[in-house]
Structure 1
Amino acid sequence: MKLLTRIWLAAGITAYAAAICGAAEQGPYIGYVYPAGGRQGTVFKVKARGQRLRNISDIYFSGKGVSASVTGYVGAGGLLNAVQQEELRRRINKLLAKRSPGQNKPVPDAEKPPEAALPDLPELRNLEQMTPAQLRKVYDKFLNFGKRPKPPIAEEVTLEVTIDPNAALGDREVRFRTPAGLTNPVVFQVGQIAEVCEPDKDEEPPAAPSVLQAPVVLNGQIMPGGVDRFTLNLKKNERLFIAAQARKLIPYLADAVPGWFQAVMAVYDSNGKELAFADDCGFDPDPAIIFQPPQDGEYTIAIRDAIYRGREDFVYRIAVAGEELIRPIFPSGTRGGVRICTPSAEWQPRLRYWDNLPEYNETEPNNTGKTAQHIALPHIANGCISSPEDKDVFRFSGRAGDVVAAEVYARRAGSPLDSLLRLIDTKGRVIAWNDDHKDLESGLLTHHADSRLSARLPADGDYFIQISDATRHGGEEFFYSLRIGAPKPDFALCLTPASLNVTAGGATVATVYAARKDGWDGDIELTLKDAPEGFVLGGACI
């Protein structure tokens, strides 16, 4: 049984590209967008960095109500051409030597620098009035190539983003289209809370930091050795949720060690005393803090990388809000298995192939075979392992030879439950059991704690499905949804890379992974849907 196949996609040859053949060139790439979201009903600037982003023709957001246009582009070489760079170097060198003779090491000068006009940029105005420290800051930004962004994020695009007042809340994906093809998708969020961005690190810091008010979303980027701080005026005993998002925005950084931004966060009072700290939230690596100010006053939220790394793509968002406004961000009411608010009324943990099955909520007591809840198959049971010793038991009738499948959906929905599932007959014999079942569709989940089992019933009669926590924990947040019934053979597909770009007359290769479910063992035929005329798909069978 194959779990993957490699396919090739060829584009029809046109008159102007008849000589082109072979694989397409590497496509465009987005490393990050900043800020990685915005508020309904606003228009604001967003900076995106990546590779091969010149001449963007279209910007695609998933869903409706968000649009953007390009307002600026800076290539990998920076804002200045070679002649302008040498002219700026000469002027800074001259000013440093004049202002602080013998105290500052001059910036290396060219042997014969050409005379050139500098572009009208805010950072280059009034060079003659700048201090030596300010001049060296200008030098670092425009001339110090060692401090330029790494190649994967060397190009910069400025966007103007518009979010409609009624745009749906939640996560979106954004991609760019360029002459080189379509970029990878990156996360962009739509919220309903006021947003602020940290002061520009290239500008002089304000004499006194701004004092903000909750609710608010704080946006920033962590640079090497940096600690970002925000001061808020909070009220005594106001229950606030302070939730950072970093890995949620950019799960992996291919050329960073380790390969992600591991945010840590703390809250300080006006005297600098640490009142709260978090480096995660349950099994979610992004930190969150539930905080109640001990008194009215100013408090500081600080965020940094766990080992003080940083660069432009260490992007974060911190939501500071009460329960009503934090719930749309975490509709399940949990984060990493930690209860942070009550769930949204419309939220239910579901897998897509569980639709249209009857549902029941468990009723206690149902801890033993004698008190088991009777159900008819197929069936979805929604319940909770409410205490460390709690076991929920469901009773059903079956016939010899029937195949019964049972699957738990909990950890994938944000529950801390580490489920243990057992199929038991009326004599207490365990026919099948499962602790962890790996879901190939949940690639970012580090612990596949949801259970799944499938077994053929040996005889006519009654049977029990028992669910418990494998680590003997429990609580109101240990919710689950349990499907019991005949197997529903199905599959899911994953394509890598996420974007395919192919030149006219050329071809490209991709890999399609198949996640087979509930015993699906047939061939999977792949086709192109709504493809332009002239495209051909080869090797399309798994």
Structure 2
Amino acid sequence: WLNANAVEVVIDDKQSNANRVVLTATLPNETSPGLAQLRLATTDGMSNSVTVALDRLPQMPFAESIATLPVSLHGSVPGSGSSKTSFTGKAGEDLLIEVEAKRLGSKLRPVVQVFDAQRLQIAWALPSPTLGGDARVAIKLPRDGQYTVEVHDVQYAPPGPSFFRLKIGQWQCADLAFPPAVTKGQEVTLALLGGVPGLTVPFRAPADGQLVPVLWPALAAASGPPPSVTISALPELIEAPPTDPPMSLPAIPFAVSGRLDGPAQQDRFRLAVTPTSKLLLEVFAERIGSRIDAALELRNLQGAVLASNDDGPGMIDPRLEFTVPAGVDALDIVLRDALDIANDQAIYRLVLTSADVPRNDVDVSAKSDVLNVAAGEMRILEVNAVRRGYDGPLQLVLGQLPPGIVAQGTEIPSGASGTLLTLTNTGDAVAPLVTSLVAKSPDGVITRAVRLDTTPDDRSPVWLREQFAVAAAPKNVLPFAVAWADAQPPTNWVLASKTAIPVTFVRPTGTLGPVRLSLVTSQLEPKVNNQPNAALTVRAERVVEVPVDP
């Protein structure tokens, strides 16, 4: 499966052996370039996903020399070493040289260097936040001759698997979209930044969703993940050309997007305010892939700075809460780039809301993205909610399910930090599919796609984490069953108390050996100062291991 689409594959007998299986598949011409989740489906269920790249570049194993360009080489950096390849180029030739690693799930923090025939470095690139921690060089070759490309880890010590994909040639790419956010249902023209200057694409924001990828305007020419756009419930404005007085802003809440693309540029806005009211100003720049280090100031109309912020809590984007002084009915908002990058990727989004109005938001995540449910059995998916103002119930809505699969535990109660979503296979069909999982408030105001809970260094596109594989599998030959011994186990527990809960289990006939039991709860682990709070955590007192049957 590629994302939610089934793809037929054929085993390559000539390249397969006892240690590996080589599968070949032909994708439809309308397949969009970018990144996708690849899964293998068999009669026993679905595999875990891996992130793969899709495009029309020639794909080759990594080699010491390249015969023709463009090309995409697949390899792995050997520990503390580097991977090297060479090609012949002509003076004035424009090339892109890009490493995809972090975005594919690799632990490699790639550095790419380009040397000429005399071993003189003519270009290099470090891991870029705009590229999800990967690296790209855009170069015009200075002379005819041979060039060498080297790839290595930024510390010459990758902390895990160091596979990568090296692309050399010319292709259509874009790293950011402007504006970076669009109001639900609105139609706009997006500028695609980071590749061919002036590249645009029409875009209509869906009624639901949080972050969606842009469709490439030319499928055959594109490579790499497309930029994404935030789907907003706020009015979304675009900065106007500089004026005196500054651009007037509407009443809050709203958001405004702009570019600091000129040297020493400062974007200024004027906001009418009410004395003693409380404002919340939040800049999205580094968090959306922009290269700027934004700095925010609030000034009175005489130019005096009333408040400023450079870095918010745990981030380099500014966040500022401000109480309007008595006698002040207008403020000037000033944004600048502390790095003064001044290019077309120096974009930002400024969100203004009232600090007096409680936030009404929540993020929902799941511990796994694959559930294989054998006939007559059940599987549990931990779903957690991180609440930011919204404390009401959430209903979990699954997309299409295989025949015979029934869902229970689909509600996260008011105030709860999660639920255990249970899928039971009541049928006998064998059917895999990739589906969606959405959390909704009863009034429909809040709709959040449930995403796979990943590690902080995961750089795969967010929308790929919103896919869940569910398979109805055959009945297990050796079934194992475990259940509560009491029909109604205790539900009201006293803080700091201990409760013994008897369980029963049935071993498959003829199997022996110890059985280890673990406790799974719907509670999101409470933390104090970012450390687990054992006093408030529902947990097993110790590991329970049942010895071998006599």
| Band the TM-score falls in, shorter-chain normalisation | 0.5 to 0.7
Residue 254 of structure 1 corresponds to which residue in structure 2?
A: none
1:10-159 correspondence runs (5 A): 60-62=1-3, 67-69=7-9, 71=11, 156-159=20-23
Match of 1:536 among 408, 415, 418: 408
- Quote the Cα distance in structure 2 between the aligned partners of 1:343 and 1:403: 40
Letter of the 1:301 counterpart: V
Q: Does residue 1:192 correspond to 2:85, yes or no?
A: no
Task: Give yes or no for contact 1:61–1:173 (8 Å, CA) kept in 2.
Answer: yes
- Quote the Cα distance in structure 1 between the aligned partners of 2:295 and 2:159: 42
Letter of the 1:248 counterpart: R
- Quote the Cα distance in structure 1 between the aligned partners of 2:56 and 2:383: 37
Task: Give yes or no for contact 2:395–2:410 (8 Å, CA) kept in 1.
Answer: no
Residue 250 of structure 1 corresponds to which residue in structure 2?
A: 105
Q: Does residue 1:473 correspond to 2:333, yes or no?
A: no
Residue 418 of structure 1 corresponds to which residue in structure 2?
A: 293
Structure 2 residue matching 1:248: 3-state secondary structure: helix
Q: Taking structure 1 as reference, are residues 433 and 350 closer, same or farther at Cα in structure 2, changes over 3 Å only?
A: farther
Match of 1:160 among 24, 32, 50: 24
Structure 1 residue matching 2:287: 3-state secondary structure: helix
- Quote the Cα distance in structure 2 between the aligned partners of 1:73 and 1:404: 66
Q: CA deviation at 1:242?
A: 0.9
Residue 91 of structure 2 corresponds to which residue in structure 1?
A: 236
- Quote the Cα distance in structure 1 between the aligned partners of 2:229 and 2:134: 24
Scaled by the length of structure 2, the TM-score of the pair is: 0.56
Residue 499 of structure 1 corresponds to which residue in structure 2?
A: 370
- Quote the Cα distance in structure 2 between the aligned partners of 1:316 and 1:351: 26
Match of 1:270 among 117, 129, 132: 117
Task: Give yes or no for contact 1:214–1:233 (8 Å, CA) kept in 2.
Answer: no
- Quote the Cα distance in structure 1 between the aligned partners of 2:65 and 2:137: 22
- Quote the Cα distance in structure 2 between the aligned partners of 1:498 and 1:167: 23
Task: Give yes or no for contact 1:229–1:303 (8 Å, CA) kept in 2.
Answer: yes
Computing the radius of gyration from Cα coordinates, the structure with the larger value is 1
Letter of the 1:320 counterpart: I
Q: How large is the RMSD of aligned CA atoms in angstroms? A: 4.0
| 1:283-311, Cα deviation, whole Å (9 max, x unpaired) | 75323223222212232223244566689
Specify every segment of 5 or more residues in structure 2 that has no aligned partner in the other structure, as ranges: 179-192, 204-213, 215-226, 418-550
| 1:436-473, Cα deviation, whole Å (9 max, x unpaired) | 446xxxxxxxx73333445565668223333223x353
Task: Give yes or no for contact 2:282–2:319 (8 Å, CA) kept in 1.
Answer: yes
Q: Taking structure 1 as reference, are residues 354 and 411 closer, same or farther at Cα in structure 2, changes over 3 Å only?
A: same
Structure 2 residue matching 1:412: 3-state secondary structure: helix
Residue 281 of structure 2 corresponds to which residue in structure 1?
A: 406
Scaled by the length of structure 1, the TM-score of the pair is: 0.56
Residue 319 of structure 1 corresponds to which residue in structure 2?
A: 167
Residue 502 of structure 2 corresponds to which residue in structure 1?
A: none
Specify every segment of 5 or more residues in structure 1 that has no aligned partner in the other structure, as ranges: 1-59, 81-154, 200-208, 252-259, 439-446
Match of 1:449 among 284, 299, 316: 316
Letter of the 1:467 counterpart: L
Task: Give yes or no for contact 1:290–1:340 (8 Å, CA) kept in 2.
Answer: no
Q: Does residue 1:292 correspond to 2:292, yes or no?
A: no
- Quote the Cα distance in structure 1 between the aligned partners of 2:371 and 2:291: 37
Match of 1:521 among 382, 387, 390: 390
Task: Give yes or no for contact 2:37–2:50 (8 Å, CA) kept in 1.
Answer: yes
Residue identity (%): 21
Residue 135 of structure 1 corresponds to which residue in structure 2?
A: none
- Quote the Cα distance in structure 1 between the aligned partners of 2:21 and 2:47: 13
Q: CA deviation at 1:374?
A: 0.9
Task: Give yes or no for contact 1:223–1:310 (8 Å, CA) kept in 2.
Answer: no
- Quote the Cα distance in structure 2 between the aligned partners of 1:393 and 1:269: 46
Q: CA deviation at 1:191?
A: 1.9
Q: Taking structure 1 as reference, are residues 358 and 221 closer, same or farther at Cα in structure 2, changes over 3 Å only?
A: closer
| 1:194-219, Cα deviation, whole Å (9 max, x unpaired) | 333325xxxxxxxxx65433333222
